[in-house]
A and B are shown apart, each in its own frame.
Chain A
């Protein structure tokens, strides 16, 4: 049997917005032996429901097993794999850069504007840049800012949505098979 290729996968997971749910979902990854590459969580338009966007490196078989395991957790409403070509992925990164004189301040501001990023804080010694984009963009600006001295960097983790009018609750065969398990509460 040939080894399947490992790739980075993006999963969107709708869960109950309740204490302990994030821990339950995230420990599932460690329990099954996966490292979480990126994680972002927040309430949705329905305050009772949170949406988790999580990225892991896994092969095709592993990722479908992971989706199955996620679906099995009681606080999980839906799970969907978002393919890179059919989804939009974004991340917000805040970078605090050393800028102690007008030369470096100007350079940082130029770099920021090329990347269409905003300067959101300024002090006598530093500038803070807010970048929104995918990893490539983040790494690129990070590389350019590095010579100035990055004081601090924080990333929100990737959030993603499928392109077009599709939603996470779309009925698929796999989803129906899971509904069965939940419906069999009778």
Chain B
């Protein structure tokens, strides 16, 4: 297992290297001069030329690539062209916001998605099954933009249950320590604000979790149906075991492998793909950070931002692969 992990980690190196290079070249292929965009429409030609030089953008691409690349090995992610701040300093709050939101979305998606899938498989062709699968189909095709605004309008404004936007109650916010607000509020001993933070997570969590929830539900259902037809399930039922335990203990464990794979992939997608949810809910996450960087051609931020998201993505996938063995003892890594 240990050797397997090491081998997998080393195989990541060429993947990440290739990705750094492709991203580097791709963002330079889009037209638009960062200096012009930073200085805005009002800037004079001379100012743009001066800033281009100062940012080193007049250098040939291989010089620029080398200075960025060698910096990475020293643990230097570069400096944002727009804010003039080291990326390693400014990226964490964004990442923390995204992690909190993604975890909330995944919690909602997994709990509801898996259970809906199980019950649908258990009572195949029942009204519950039909409804759940129609809802899942709607879920995967739901425009997040619309869903988010509808949630705000109905749940937050009409029913007055939950807040519309933001991560916390801005009128009485606590000072960030770790930038994970669930933890920060507890560290400040502010239970009221902790609950505020949870309330702020529910609507964006649902908006972001809808698509994964639908995918997970459908995957769980089909995987469960397959397992429930197998011999050992028939045996378990024949020996008089209660149906609930047959489903939740024997079937689920055997059906979980493809579901876990899907969950792993979805978490990865949420990290970078939360941009719509972040826009609607005023959520300062990593998607917004990279998106803004692309609009202003903030090359270092785009490069390092994507690098970090990709790195987390492959780590999660590795984790998923390792989880297989824990779920199903028949799988062994050599």
Q: Do A and B come from one complex?
A: no
Q: Residues on A close to B: CB < 8 A?
A: none
